[in-house]
Amino acid sequence: MAQARNTQAPALKLAATPGQTIGPFYGYALPFTKDNELVNQARPGAVRLHGVVTDGAGTVIPDALLEIWQPDQDGNVVSQDGSLVRDGYTFTGWGRTAVDNVGHYTFTTLNPGATEEGKAPFIMLTVFARGLLNRLFTRIYLPEDTAALANDPLLSSLDEAQRKTLIATREADGSLRFDISLQGEDETVFLSYPRES
């Protein structure tokens, strides 16, 4: 006589899958034409955002990938399709770029406007790089509105040295310089979001 088998699987307690480090294989699927060009360089108000990504020893990281999100120059958070297919006219507020072999990156974008009266304008930045198990998030603040910077809740919670790591430098040609240090004495302040932890 055959015995009945228990066909119910025992209840499993699932654990979160850990993040995985990434290798220098961005050239296969992630880059796309004009990925770092949120606006054309000839557009009035276009600005160059650039800098270098380094590790804790100050050595450049030649294979990082960066993404930015930002409002337009009037502070409007844009909700437009077409981020992956640049048409030359539509500002989507999103861009992606890989650093070059000396750790340098460049975006062509707009100076973001404040999303609310008196708020400090900023650009959100995400860093993917070798050795990182999870992506890193930070902000790039514009340097001009010192009153808004002084009243910003995030900046106000940091000491002066930490605040400086989040504020871009305006260069003589009008471009924004924002260097990113993943560790060390001048480590960029990175943000933690509960759902990303």
> What are the structural domain ranges in the chain?
26-187
Query: In this predicted structure, what is the pLDDT of residue 80?
Result: 72
pLDDT band at residue 105 using 50, 70 and 90 as cut-offs: very high
Q: Closest by alpha carbon to 109, among 34, 31, 39, 179? A: 39
Q: Where residue 114 falls among pLDDT bands split at 50, 70, 90? A: very high
Q: Which residues touch 89 (CB under 8 Å, ≥6 apart)?
A: none
Would you state the pLDDT for residue 182?
A: 95
Written as six digits, the tokens of 163 are 């605040």
CATH number, domain 26-187: 2.60.130.10
Query: When comparing pLDDT for 171 and 20, which is higher?
Result: 171
User: Would the pLDDT of 166 be above 60?
Assistant: yes
The answer to whether the CB of 71 falls within 8 A of the CB of 77 is yes
- Joined together, the tokens standing for residue 69 give 């999100």
Instruction: Find the length of the chain.
Output: 197
